[in-house]
Amino acid sequence: MTNPDTGYQVSRGTRDDDTPIGAAARRASQVLTPGGAGTLPRPLERRVLTIANQKGGVGKTTSAVNLAAALALQGLRVLVIDLDPQGNASTALGVDHRSGVPSSYELLLGEVTLGEAIAQSPHSPNLFCVPATIDLAGAEIELVSMVARETRLKNALADSAGDDLDYVFIDCPPSLGLLTVNALVAAREVLIPIQCEYYALEGVGQLLRNIELVQAHLNPQLHVSTILLTMYDARTKLADQVAAEVRNHFGERVLQSAIPRSVKVSEAPGYGTTVLDYDPGSRGAMSYLDAGRELAHRGVHRGGN
Ligand code: ATP
Ligand code: MG
In a domain, 1, yes or no: no
Domain that holds residue 71: 44-299
Q: Give 158-177 pLDDT, tens digit per residue.
A: 999 989 999 999 999 999 99
Total Cβ atoms within 10 A of residue 88: 20
Atom of ligand 1 nearest to the CA of 62: 11
Closest alpha carbon to 190 in 216, 215, 217: 215
In a domain, 28, yes or no: no
Hey, what amino acid is at 173?
P
Q: Whole-number mean pLDDT of the chain?
A: 90
54 alpha carbon – ligand 2 mean position (Å):
10
303 alpha carbon – ligand 1 mean position (Å):
29
In a domain, 9, yes or no: no
pTM beyond 0.85, yes or no: yes
Residue 99: its pLDDT value, please?
94
Residue 39: its pLDDT value, please?
86
Ligand nearest to the CA of 174: 1
In a domain, 256, yes or no: yes
Interval 97-115 mean pLDDT: 96
Domains contained in the chain, number? 1
Q: What is the C-alpha separation between 17 and 30, in angstroms, rounded?
A: 13
* pLDDT confidence tier of residue 83, bands split at 50, 70 and 90: very high
CATH number for 177: 3.40.50.300
Q: Give 229-239 pLDDT, tens digit per residue.
A: 999 998 999 99
Interval 195-213 mean pLDDT: 91
Residue 6, classed as helix, strand or coil, is: coil
In a domain, 201, yes or no: yes
In a domain, 118, yes or no: yes
Atom of ligand 1 nearest to the CA of 56: 2
257 alpha carbon – ligand 2 mean position (Å):
21
* In the predicted structure, residue 243 carries a pLDDT above the cut 60: yes
Pocket test for ligand 1, best of 53, 54, 61 (most atoms within 8 A of CB): 61
Edge to edge, the sheet with strand 223-230 lists 119-120, 127-130, 78-82, 167-171, 47-51, 189-195, 223-230
Ligand nearest to the CA of 259: 1
